[in-house]
Structure 1
Amino acid sequence: MAGIGADHKAHKRQISKANGQEIDIDVLVIGAGPTGLGAAKRLNQLDGPSWMIIDTTDIPGGLASTDVTPEGFLYDVGGHVIFSHYQYFDDCINEALPNESDWYTHQRISYVRYKDLWVPYPFQNNISMLPKEDQVKCLEGMIDATVEARVANTKPKDFDEWIMRNVGEGIADIFMRPYNFKVWAVPTTKMQCQWLGERVAAPNLKLVTKNVVLNKTAGNWGPNATFRFPAHGGTGNIWIKVAETLPKKNTRFGDHGRVQLIDAENKRVLLGDGTIVNYEKLISTMAVDSLVEAMRNEELTKLSKGLYYSTTHVIGVGIRGARPERIGDKCWLYFPEDNCPFYRATIFSNYSPNNQPAASKKLATMQLADGSKPESDEEKEGPYWSIMLEVSESSMKPVNGETMVPDNIRGLINTQLLQPEDEIVSVYHRRFDHGYPTPSLEREGVLTQLLPKLQDMDIYSRGRFGSWRYEVGNQDHSFMLGVEAADAIVNGAAELTLNYPDFVNGRVNKERRLVDGAQFFKSMKGVRNEEMPLRPKESA
């Protein structure tokens, strides 16, 4: 087994025994979100290494988990849907949820709310739906951008310049700048553009002009135009079921899986119940800034201060009544304007009928949407439907946590998702400190130092916040970051998802599906990790 020593008991231990229990393991995995579970899944398939996965929570899932309110409404930790770039990922989740009845498949129905209009997503491809004066402004900007792009001999220096070169000033001012500030909680001038890949649609000027003249809309775009969602238990149920495919003897969840201290020099981890785990290799899916703090490493902690993130607030509103016609089959919706705090709303009840209580369940009305009290506090039957909202927060975009729920309900009325007389039977609010890993201008300078320094210590920091790359931060990416880290440790295989985001995402906005997992790992076995750059080559 490549890279794993025969005996690590000879190391001098810096963590003293707390309760007398020590565990020796080849590979320790910290975190039972998609990345940690991907690593554990792959380690369980391989012969040789002993391994263990730990997590501070009792229920696996991490940032892909699902909460249930006392009333019976389900809310994911933000907007998650299943679409995939990897056959291996598909095979694993299909093993966990193998029946056709375990899933719903949806065609994405997504809009941008602008000037009381529902503009089909992506906005930049559907300016034919805008008022005439806005159409003119957008087209003029796109023409200027096309001319500028032809003569430009340098790459955009930041996300804002990328926007100007791709869509022009009109779309930048109307949608791209205000929307992205609401999402990232930093201006577009403070973000780099390497992360974009398939996440932002670059418009076709000829097609957009044709659609404006003919008053037509563009078709679906992007890898999530079709997506799956679990029938029961929300997104979190996927990861609960994946965890159930692992041997229980290799898992420690809850307080006895909580990391107190990491002694990287002597390869020891002190857990919440006092147990000491001695490891040879560590796959950490903790946020990397939290990881280096747990290591008590002043140099790396100082270095990690150059990484930025935004906080995410998830707000859920459960409503009594049949789903209104104005809501229809909408999936998720974008909000660039300042008449609401949220940047995205998901009609979560549309993903599965089991995301809300049965119609027969009796619930009292908490309030009407306009804030007034109901005429009666009597419990009544449904049916019910629900909306999930996301709000970002940073030092550049502070929010008032105490008024978060009423502010967002007011925003729902302003955007006509709710009517003032709608009966609200449930509210939910949860704050996630690490919500989005910001692709800041400083990011690559930090990661190209931080991740190799950790790997020199036999620590593979991977995952949405472990490797801090939003462009490979979806559930399928995150899972494969763990899978590939495990295979790199045991077989010395290349970590494609970490090192080549453009390759795994496909070029020209085309979804790329890798070959069968076994063939993939066999084909990559001869390519060593040291042959792979930490970041994509400029020509990639």
Structure 2
Amino acid sequence: MLDIARRTIKRVPSFQELLQGKMGSAKQELSVDVLVIGAGPTGLGAAKRLNQIDGPSWLIVDSNKTPGGLASTDTTEEGFLYDVGGHVIFSHYKYFDDVIDEALPREEDWYNHERVSYVRCKNLWVPYPFQNNISMLPKEDQVKCIDGMIDAALEARVANSKPKDFDEWIIRMMGEGVADLFMRPYNYKVWAVPTTKMQCAWLGERVAAPDVKRVTQNVILGKTAGNWGPNNTFKFPARDGTGGIWIAVANTLPQSKTRFGEHGSVSKIDADAKRVTLKDGTVVNYKKLVNTMAVDSLVQIMGDQKLTDLSKGLFYSTTHVIGVGIRGERPERIGDKCWLYFPEDDCPFYRATIFSNYSPYNQPQKDVKLATKQLADGSKPKSSEPKEGPYWSIMLEVSESSMKHVDVKNLLKDSIQGLINTDMIKSTDEIVSTYHRAFDHGYPTPSLEREGVLTQLLPALLKKDIWSRGRFGSWRYEVGNQDHSFMLGVEAVDNIVSGAVELTLNYPDFVNGRKNTERRLAEGAELLNVNKSKATAVE
């Protein structure tokens, strides 16, 4: 554990002081107890907890000028906002709720939504989750799905082993019909790897297991199932997108302990000497390091060939985020839909979010005059004269990996055509804004090899006083939502300071199983009856 009792805390110079030379040139040497790399949700969670403890000296650095990481938001020159993929706020932790409420405390800071989500299949909109709503499918597909579910239920009664991979889990839970219609093609489009190459320990509350009796009743009666899942209700910030949340959280921290942008970019990590060199030449000495950059990138910067070779067993996909801004009233067929799933090959994207439905400030206001860039079919508009709205927008996500190639050059064009193919937009719709950005590390794949790597890699880093945490820092997708990621940082700090158990990292099923209940940081060890000696803190 971190010894903070017998030492003098050194004040970390602020960014402005460094620039103004009040405490020397920018190329200097600093010393802190805890250095946090990355100002996404995990890094900000660590910094927030460190600031709350008011004991260890600390510093948080990030190469981006704006905090938020993979939960940030971009704005096009026309004024359309797009998140880095589909993000919404729902929580498993009261601590997280309290921090978000402190950052954005007013009722008018938020819009509350009930999820309206569908799967596009056979030119139909099937309510989510698909496996509970096969009553919407053509009769022959209903028969295939129910046959498969019955076979799966019978097999489950005699099975004496766990599924060996995600594909086998799908077959055992849902049967061949649902697997072939939705689960296999959709998950390939999301993860960019076949389901046979993924493990199934990550699933938890993320995939709904069908109730065969209820599904059969709904098919006979022509009914659909109700909302399911931890995000069936959610809230979204009124302004600035998801990224605005994390900017607001960062603004609650002392500016003197943050270095963002060029002066916060890491160029070298000497884990043995416990020194980090920033690109502006500043050297930061630390006692403990909370890392939130991708762990495969971390070990490369460290220059540790053994750990670098080990990290090559981790698999990930790149996420392409595409945005389309459209002039006109939102079509009735779109209505109040939130996000939509696309398992079929008539479009390159696996998910579409009606981003304009989340907040009226996610797109320009009606009186803003914009020129039409093109019609949806690619043809030129009759006039390029700017004119008023209203406007609405769609955000799309496309995955790419070494096992799933993407025609990046034509991806925007193909995506717009996919929107036409799936009846999301009409060929004559006026497109006033487009957006495309690729995020190299998009999804940390729960591959078959993942646990074998992580059970060696994370402890090896911990022996070097490095707590690697976060969506890619600890590579566990099952605890990769914003609330999880934030708490991974919070709990890492508690582990450093007091040896507290990191529940989110080590017990994801427990954390996810207590949705929307009050859980304080110190509560977990008692509830789990975990002996304090099992804590991963470094003395």
Task: Work out whether 1:333 is the aligned partner of 2:340.
Answer: yes
Deviation at 1:189, TM superposition (A): 0.2
Task: Work out whether 1:145 is the aligned partner of 2:145.
Answer: no
Q: In structure 1, how many angstroms separate the alpha carbons of the residues matched to 2:285 and 2:5?
A: 12
Q: In structure 2, how many angstroms separate the alpha carbons of the residues matched to 1:403 and 1:490?
A: 51
Q: 2:473 aligns with which of 457, 461, 466?
A: 466
Q: In structure 2, how many angstroms separate the alpha carbons of the residues matched to 1:3 and 1:467?
A: 25
1:4 touches 1:280 (CA, 8 Å); kept in 2? no
Q: 2:534 aligns with which of 531, 534, 540?
A: 531
Amino acid at match of 1:255: E
SS for the counterpart of 1:498 is helix
Deviation at 1:520, TM superposition (A): 3.6
Match of 2:11 in 1: none
Matches within 5 A, 1:279-294: 279-294=286-301
Q: Normalized against structure 2, the TM-score is what?
A: 0.94
Q: 2:515 aligns with which of 511, 514, 523?
A: 511
Matches within 5 A, 1:36-55: 36-55=43-62
Amino acid at match of 1:254: G
Task: Work out whether 1:253 is the aligned partner of 2:260.
Answer: yes
Q: 1:395 aligns with which of 373, 393, 402?
A: 402
Match of 2:193 in 1: 186
Matches within 5 A, 1:51-450: 51-450=58-457
Q: In structure 1, how many angstroms separate the alpha carbons of the residues matched to 2:528 and 2:349?
A: 45
SS for the counterpart of 1:25 is strand
> Residues 319-345 of structure 1, C-alpha deviation per residue, up to 9 Å, x if partnerless?
000101010000000000000000000
Q: In structure 2, how many angstroms separate the alpha carbons of the residues matched to 1:93 and 1:19?
A: 33
User: Could you say if the C-alpha distance between residues 314 and 26 of structure 1 is closer, same or farther in structure 2, counting changes exceeding 3 Å?
Assistant: same
Deviation at 1:272, TM superposition (A): 1.2
Deviation at 1:491, TM superposition (A): 1.1
2:501 touches 2:536 (CA, 8 Å); kept in 1? no
1:128 touches 1:217 (CA, 8 Å); kept in 2? yes
2:495 touches 2:536 (CA, 8 Å); kept in 1? no
Q: In structure 2, how many angstroms separate the alpha carbons of the residues matched to 1:266 and 1:322?
A: 60
User: Could you say if the C-alpha distance between residues 528 and 357 of structure 1 is closer, same or farther in structure 2, counting changes exceeding 3 Å?
Assistant: farther
2:120 touches 2:342 (CA, 8 Å); kept in 1? yes
Q: In structure 2, how many angstroms separate the alpha carbons of the residues matched to 1:79 and 1:283?
A: 26
Percent identity, please: 73
1:320 touches 1:424 (CA, 8 Å); kept in 2? yes
Q: In structure 1, how many angstroms separate the alpha carbons of the residues matched to 2:536 and 2:463?
A: 15
Q: In structure 2, how many angstroms separate the alpha carbons of the residues matched to 1:398 and 1:239?
A: 33
Q: In structure 2, how many angstroms separate the alpha carbons of the residues matched to 1:157 and 1:368?
A: 48
Amino acid at match of 2:259: R
Amino acid at match of 2:407: N
Match of 1:12 in 2: none
2:500 touches 2:535 (CA, 8 Å); kept in 1? no
User: Could you say if the C-alpha distance between residues 136 and 515 of structure 1 is closer, same or farther in structure 2, counting changes exceeding 3 Å?
Assistant: same
Gap runs ≥5 in structure 1: 9-17, 535-540
Amino acid at match of 2:519: V
Amino acid at match of 1:208: V
Count of residue pairs the alignment pairs up = 523
2:314 touches 2:453 (CA, 8 Å); kept in 1? yes
2:61 touches 2:259 (CA, 8 Å); kept in 1? yes
Amino acid at match of 2:382: E
User: Could you say if the C-alpha distance between residues 192 and 275 of structure 1 is closer, same or farther in structure 2, counting changes exceeding 3 Å?
Assistant: same
Runs of 4 or more above 2 Å deviation: 1-8, 510-517, 519-530
Amino acid at match of 1:352: S
Amino acid at match of 1:482: G
Task: Work out whether 1:475 is the aligned partner of 2:478.
Answer: no
Q: In structure 1, how many angstroms separate the alpha carbons of the residues matched to 2:277 and 2:153?
A: 57
